[in-house]
């Protein structure tokens, strides 16, 4: 029993935390700032000095190993001839280890040898990746300082050029960095075996239950026999994820077993999907500084009539606007066309204009997100009541064309690039409308990083309507509000009629905004907005709004809260917006 108790006591003594001895352990490093930071973060003596089990004997052992530890660490920064001067002191029970580091000059990259074997050595001159291009993208050029991290990154970057296109099974056969202390240079050599060129094979789909294979196949940009390209797989997966049919999507190509398949160097594609629920319902509440409090109900049927048609219905009840919309999206065709049918009923009461609009229409869209085009046809009826003036009812059958260009570095939180939306809508004949008209409307937004933390955002909008007396109010222009001229009420800028503000034939607005990002997520903004809407170019006199705001990069896109001063009214207004309005 005593032996058992003794064993238990010793076990508890060994496993329970031990209080640090009264002695303290300190490390003092004298070195150039970048190297000092490196050593204070990674030197063993620094990492272990606060360990509760540290004792003088262990401290002495670490001290004896420290000079080599230091040399190994700073060698990763390119310093191979460093001199280390260590001293050890016991200052009244405080053990102090001091190191003076004379780093010397860093080595520079000398000769660079890139060697490529495999199919790339005999591929066609215009095939990618080309050997000439691979030499151009090599990161560590002759004469540049050598760092271990840069060396590793250069090798990864070079190998990635193979993996993303044509040669997904490429590998580094050998790599060597030889240091010459006499010349203070390092000779680099790397050999990459590209392996065989791989082509895509047939596509297998796993996980479909309700939908026909065409729902997936018609979104596939990859033809069997095409040279392997990783971006094609990502494009395919993105299209499927954005289609709305699937909860999760995985698109892979079996490149590793391609040499063992019945067709050598052919990588079959496998698509694994999990379908979304067929019926989805949602309810939400919110607030808009344009149209007030909001209650929203939505119902989606992702397999209408068991044909893969997607029905999306939405009821939005706001203080100044009530809208019921319904859209039916058909599966994408083999030619890449996205067809849809739509209908909506809306009622708005803004700035003394009471408007009720009913629309039904069809639309065909094509192209990717960077360059999307569409044509549509709509039948519209509209009833308007103007405070202090009369009532009017109009109807129009319209045809439209639009193009949207999106060239930004990030879809949700862009920092560089531009967005452009151009659309034309008109009633071509008087037999199907109160009168013929043509609306031309252009909106653009540009992003430019002035510095790494300062961003410039510019926005512009112009539009005109030919045939004002014939165009329904829906196709005329008003300005003011969150995404227009801040400092003014929503759609309060336009043509005065009776006691109301109605739409005009012309619109021109613009904005210049500078955002200073204080952290990676939060920023402050200053801006100037200008613009107006009118019936004639002579009356199109801009009004100005100035303000400041806060910005947050949310997962849904940028969120902004602004306080703006309307120069023409002398009033301050609060504006709130979320996301990129394109």
- Coil vs helix vs strand at 22: coil
Indicate the pLDDT class of residue 15, thresholds 50, 70 and 90. very low
For residue 252, pLDDT beyond 90: yes
Measure the CA dihedral 470/472/474/476, to 10°: 30
108-193 CATH pick, 3.40.50.300, 3.10.20.310, 3.30.450.20, 3.50.50.60: 3.10.20.310
199-275 CATH pick, 3.40.50.720, 3.10.20.310, 3.40.50.880, 3.40.50.150: 3.10.20.310
Where do the structural domains in the chain lie, given as residue ranges? 17-102, 108-193, 199-275, 338-578
d(CA 518, CA 535): 43
Residue 2: other Cβ atoms inside 10 A = 6
Rounded mean pLDDT, 229-236: 94
Query: For residues 479 and 532, is the Cβ–Cβ distance under 8 A?
Result: yes
Rounded mean pLDDT, 408-421: 93
Helix (H) or strand (E) holding 62: helix 56-75
Q: What percent of the chain has pLDDT over 90?
A: 78
For residue 429, pLDDT beyond 50: yes
For residue 19, pLDDT beyond 70: no
Q: pLDDT by residue (tens digit) across 454-481?
A: 999 999 999 999 975 678 999 999 999 9
For residue 119, pLDDT beyond 90: yes
Indicate the pLDDT class of residue 125, thresholds 50, 70 and 90. confident
pLDDT at 8: 46
Rounded mean pLDDT, 400-417: 94
Contact partners, residue 80, CB within 8 Å, separation at least 6: 107, 179, 181
Indicate the pLDDT class of residue 511, thresholds 50, 70 and 90. very high
Identical fold at 108-193 and 199-275? yes
d(CA 401, CA 409): 27
Q: What percent of the chain has pLDDT over 70?
A: 94
Handedness of CA 119, 122, 127, 132 (dihedral sign): positive
CATH number of 17-102: 3.10.20.310
Rounded mean pLDDT, 183-190: 94
pLDDT at 187: 95
Q: How far is CA 196 from CA 56, 172, 255, 394, in A?
A: 59, 14, 10, 67
d(CA 268, CA 233): 12
CATH number of 338-578: 2.40.160.50
Cut 0.85: pTM above it = no
d(CA 254, CA 233): 12
Query: For residues 418 and 445, is the Cβ–Cβ distance under 8 A?
Result: yes
For residue 497, pLDDT beyond 50: yes
């Amino acid at each position: 029993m005593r032996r058992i108790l003794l064993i238990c006591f010793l076990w508890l003594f060994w496993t329970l935390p031990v209080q640090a001895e009264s002695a303290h352990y300190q490390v003092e490093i004298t070195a150039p700032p970048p190297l000092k930071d490196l050593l204070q973060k990674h030197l063993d003596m620094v990492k272990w000095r606060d360990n509760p089990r540290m004792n003088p004997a262990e401290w002495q052992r670490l001290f004896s190993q420290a000079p080599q530890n230091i040399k190994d660490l700073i060698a990763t920064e390119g310093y191979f001839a460093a001199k280390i001067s260590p001293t050890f002191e016991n200052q009244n029970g405080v053990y102090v280890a001091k190191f003076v580091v004379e780093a010397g000059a860093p080595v520079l990259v000398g000769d660079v040898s890139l060697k490529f074997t495999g199919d790339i050595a005999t591929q066609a001159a215009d095939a990618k990746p080309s050997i000439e291009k691979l030499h151009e993208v090599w990161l560590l050029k002759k004469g540049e300082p050598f760092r271990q991290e840069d060396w590793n990154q250069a090798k990864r970057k070079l190998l990635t050029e193979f993996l993303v296109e044509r040669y997904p099974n490429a590998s580094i056969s050998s790599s060597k960095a030889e240091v010459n202390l006499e010349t203070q240079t390092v000779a680099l050599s790397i050999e990459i075996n590209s392996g065989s060129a791989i082509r895509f094979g047939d596509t297998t789909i796993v996980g479909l239950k309700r939908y026909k294979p065409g729902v997936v196949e018609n979104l596939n940009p990859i033809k069997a026999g095409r040279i392997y390209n990783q971006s094609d797989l990502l494009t395919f997966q993105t299209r499927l994820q954005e289609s709305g049919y699937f909860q999760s999507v995985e698109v892979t190509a079996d490149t590793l077993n391609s040499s063992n398949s019945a067709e050598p160097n052919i990588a079959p594609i496998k698509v694994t999907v999990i379908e979304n629920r067929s019926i989805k319902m949602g309810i939400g509440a919110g607030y808009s500084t344009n149209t007030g409090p909001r209650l929203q109900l939505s119902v989606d049927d992702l397999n209408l009539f068991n044909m893969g048609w997607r029905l999306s219905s939405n009821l939005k009840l706001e203080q100044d606007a009530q809208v019921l919309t319904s859209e039916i999206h058909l599966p994408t065709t083999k030619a890449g066309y996205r067809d849809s049918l739509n209908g909506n009923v809306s009622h708005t009461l803004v700035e003394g204009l009471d408007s009720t609009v009913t629309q039904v229409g069809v639309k065909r869209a094509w192209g990717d997100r960077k360059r999307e085009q569409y044509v549509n046809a709509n039948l519209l009826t509209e009833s308007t009541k103007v405070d202090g003036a009369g009532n009017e009812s109009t109807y129009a059958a319209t045809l439209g064309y639009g193009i949207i260009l999106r060239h930004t570095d990030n879809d949700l939180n862009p920092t560089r690039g531009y967005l452009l939306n151009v659309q034309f809508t008109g009633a071509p004949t008087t037999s199907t409308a109160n009168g013929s008209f043509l609306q031309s409307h252009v909106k653009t937004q540009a992003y430019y990083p002035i510095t790494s933390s300062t961003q410039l955002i510019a926005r512009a909008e112009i539009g005109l309507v030919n045939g004002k007396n014939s165009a329904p109010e829906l196709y005329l222009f008003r300005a003011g509000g969150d995404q227009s001229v801040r400092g003014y009420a929503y759609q309060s800028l336009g043509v005065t009629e009776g006691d109301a503000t109605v739409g005009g034939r012309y619109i021109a607005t613009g904005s210049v905004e500078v955002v200073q990002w204080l952290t990676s997520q939060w920023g402050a903004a200053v801006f100037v907005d200008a613009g107006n809407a009118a019936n004639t170019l002579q009356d199109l006199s801009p009004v100005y709004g100035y303000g400041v705001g806060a910005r947050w990069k949310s997962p849904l896109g940028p969120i902004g809260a602004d306080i703006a001063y309307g120069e023409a009214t002398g009033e301050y207004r609060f504006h709130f917006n979320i996301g990129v309005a394109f």
